[in-house]
Chain A
Amino acid sequence: MLDADFFRRWMTAAAVAVDREADRLTALDSPIGDADHGTNMQRGFRAVVATLEKEAPDTPGAVLTLSGRQLISTVGGASGPLYGTLLRRTGKALGDAAEVSAAELAAALRTGVEAVATLGGAAPGDKTMLDALFPAVDALAESFAAARDAAEKGAVATTPLLARKGRASYLGERSIGHQDPGATSSALLFATLAEAAGE
C-alpha cells in the first residue's frame, strides 16, 4: 500500500529530477517552443516541495491535490495548468484514504491523464505530453518500472511526429525531428514514481 510518505517521496524525487534535467528540458524547448520549460518546471516543483514541507498533507490524495494546485499557481507556462490538472485530478480521484493500492493509483492517474487531454484538447500522436502519459498509465497495470519505460519510449517516439498543439504547431513540418519537451518531463515524472517505489 502507498501512503502519504510515498507520494511526498515521489514529488521530492520529481523536483530533484527536474532540477537535474532543467537545462535539457529548456534545450528541447528551444527549437520548437519558447525555451522556458526547464525553468518553469523547476520553479513549479521547488514550490511543490516547499509547500509540502510547510503544510504536511497527510493523505495521498491531499499530497497530490496540493502539489497540483501549487503547479498551477507557480509554473507560469502551459505546463502549469496541464501538470497541475494531472496531479490535482489524480489526487481528487484518490479521495481521502490514508493508503491506496497501486491499482487504485493507476486508475486515479488515468483519470488525471484524461483530464489533461480534455483541458489541452490534444490526442495521442499530437506530439505532446500525452504521448508519454497514456502509454505510462497503460503499463502501470504491470509495474511502476514498466510505466517508467513506457513513458520514456513514448517521449522518444515523439521525435518524428508533427506537432499539432501549442506553440510548436505553428512550426508545422519544422517541428519534426525534435523530441517533445512536455513528453520528456512526463517521462521524468514516471521515472521518479518508479524511483519512489524502489523499482
Chain B
Amino acid sequence: MSEETPVTEGTVSGSGPADGGQGDAGGQHKLVGVVLVSHSAAVAASVAELAAGLAGGGATAPVAAAGGTEDGGLGTSSELIAAAAAGVDRGAGVALLADLGSAVLTVKALLAEGDELPDGARLVDAPFVEGAVAAVVTASAGADLDAVEAAAVEAYTYRKV
C-alpha cells in the first residue's frame, strides 16, 4: 500500500541525514517512515489510508499499519509492529504512533529492547488520527524525523471548539 520512494542507498553513508535536512541534489533524499499501531487492524489500516490519501497525489512517505493481534483479534502484536517498522524504514528514521494501553506499552518495550526496531525508530506522542495525518504529510514533504515528530505532537494543540 505504501508507494516506493526513491532510495539513494550509500549516498549519505557515514554522514546521516543530509545536513540542513533538505536540498540534496535532485531532491533524492530518504523519507521518514510512519507506523500506525492500533488495537484494531481495521483502525490502523483505515488511518494509514486516510493519512496517505490526505498527503496528496505525489510520492507519499512509506506508511504501514500494525493493528490487532496476529490472529486478527483486538490487541497488540510485537511481531506486526517490528515487521511494519522494518517495512517502512528507508534509513531516515521511523515514527511510530500508537492508540492506547498495550499498543503504547509494547512499542516502548520494543524500543527498550534495542534491536527489534530499526535505528532511528521513535514513539511519537500524538493523537492517533490527527497525528498520523500530520506525520505522513510532513514526512511526505521530505522533513526529517524531528520535524515529523513535532508536526504530529502539535496536533494535540488543535482545538475543535
Contact = CB atoms under 8 A, between A and B. Distances in A.
A76 interface: yes
Interface size on A, as a range, is 20 to 34
A76 B102 contact: yes
Contacts of A36: 75
Interface of B: 69, 73, 75-79, 101-102, 105-106, 108-110, 112-113
Nearest to B103: A78
Contacts of A77: 75-76, 101-102
A80 B112 contact: no
B113 A81 contact: no
A164 interface: no
Contacts, number: 49
State the 7 A-B residue pairs at the shortest beta-carbon distance, nearest first.
A81-B109, A76-B75, A78-B102, A81-B105, A73-B78, A76-B69, A81-B106
A81 B79 contact: no
A85 interface: yes
B75 A119 contact: no
Contacts of A174: none
Contacts of B73: 76
A84 B109 contact: yes
Contacts of A40: 75
B105 A76 contact: no
Contacts of B110: 72
Given A72-B78, A73-B78, A80 B106 contact: yes
Contacts of B106: 72, 80-81
A167 B69 CA distance: 18
A166 interface: yes
Nearest to B76: A76
Contact of B109 (A72, A76, A166, A167): A72
Residue of B75, B77, B108, B109 with highest tally of chain A CB at under 10 A: B109
8 contacts: A76-B75, A76-B76, A78-B102, A81-B108, A85-B109, A119-B108, A120-B105, A167-B101
Residue of A69, A80, A85, A119 with highest tally of chain B CB at under 10 A: A80
B113 A69 contact: yes
Contacts of B101: 77-78, 166-167
Contacts of A73: 77-79
A69 B27 CA distance: 41
Contacts of A72: 78, 106, 109-110, 113
A82 interface: yes
Contacts of A69: 113
Residue of A36, A82, A84, A167 with highest tally of chain B CB at under 10 A: A84
Given A69-B113, A166-B101, A167-B101, A80 B108 contact: no
Nearest to B78: A73
Contacts of B76: 76-77, 80
